[in-house]
Structure 1
Amino acid sequence: MNSGAYRWFPIPALLLLVLAYLVPLSQVLMISVTDPELGLGNYALLVTSPSIARVLATTARICVITATAALVLGYVVAYCMTQARPAVRRLMLVGVLLPLWVSVLARSFAWVTLLRREGVVNSVLMGAGLIQSPLPLMWNEFGVSVGMIHTMLPYAILPMASHMRGLDPALMAAARGMGASRAQAFRRVFLPLSLPGVIGAGVLVLIFSLGFYVTPVLLGGGRVRMVAEYISLQIQELLQWGTGTMLATALIAAIGLLLFLLSRAVGLRALSGAR
């Protein structure tokens, strides 16, 4: 086959990308600046609307809490995975991947069963005499954060574990050989070298968290509104297409910015653990 023919192989994929992705995005952008009238009035709501400002603040706060908790918990798990024996490492990997095989809807309903007023957690605490009345564990930011952290943990663990496995174990051995304690070798050698994986995992968790819909709806009970739910409310119930598409465009722009910062801060080879 003529070598020049290979140039045409990506064309169908590019056409599919344009039709399935770029065309709908351009329509969303057009609606955001033409409905209800031509101009940037919808985007002005980002700084003038108290309700939108409250939704954006709630979204940012929950996303930061989710990313922080997922990184701290995920780092411990990822470190233990890299230090464990191969058989134990495989079992831990299955445990990390297992939640991904269950739908987000099912996992959110499971947390509803655990956190509701008559749920497992309150029943156990009241049965043990630790509390006198049920704790408000859901229909608030705490419940939403717990559900999102649980969902995001695999996305934090896997990139960090992948990067940690790419680190040369001889560096830790050399630090120990030069008189550093295990804690000093970890703090001054392993931790700095693992930071690219932490940054990459943090950005990945933030990107996924920004567009969360099912978990905030179920565990927030309409009292905790994040941007994805607010977009759905504007378009499906209030028929404010201009406001909804404006928020969707702003969300896409925020995700694009995070991806750009990730590409500048951490290369893909460093993130994946490649040398």
Structure 2
Amino acid sequence: MSKFNHKLAIVTGGNSGIGYATAKELIAEGAKVIITGRRKEAIEKAAKELGAIPFVADQGNLEDIETLKTEIEKQFGKVDILFINAGITGTLGSIENMNSENFDNVMNINLRGAYFTLSKFIPLLNDGASVVFLSSNVASTYKPNSSVYQASKAALNSIAKTAAAELAPRKIRVNIVSPGPTKTEIMTKAGLDEETLKGINEWLINEIPLKKMGTPEDVAKAVVYLSDNNIASFMTGTEILIDGGMVL
């Protein structure tokens, strides 16, 4: 019998990268998985490939979050696993030259959207459910030109730990996975060209003690681990770093 038989999981931003890999892993372990994303065509294509259930919803839009919550409650009832994964890096730049549009975009999705996704779904979570936030190892680094993204993830970690304390009486566990550089489309989506990406990847690999990039599957396995009440039942408010030793 698979470990997540009869369990309902939600993965936000599930049409690519870490979200897609995690949905795949959860389905392989028997879960019924709902994936969300902003682009109808992309989310439906991913759902068909995975055997998941697609919902078009933008984590940066509170109306979408409310609609998603209402529809899931109506169609499926309670939720056992919530992986709040959707996020963007935004554009890089110094604090001096940062524009408010980029600040708002990053914070709306990475922080405000993640916060209210949890907020709206708390009534739907079964007692003993698992919540996992996708953060980043940059939450505890302070590199130049990445102030907004770093701040969004640092704030997210704070919220996750507060949520772990608030939801503990219901045995709902709230944990964090914080990857380092991972082979996903997120940097391409940030508008970087092939040559720039290659240079960044080479620089990053040189900064990582294990001398390699992570994969979405590395992160997916950690999310599945944290979601398993038989293995991780005594873990809440925990952050798992998956960065090849980068922050050492």
Q: TM-score if structure 1 supplies the norm length?
A: 0.23
Q: TM-score if structure 2 supplies the norm length?
A: 0.25
Radius of gyration: which is bigger? 1
Higher-strand-fraction structure: 2
Greater relative CO (CA pairs within 8 A, separation 6+): 1
Higher-helix-fraction structure: 1
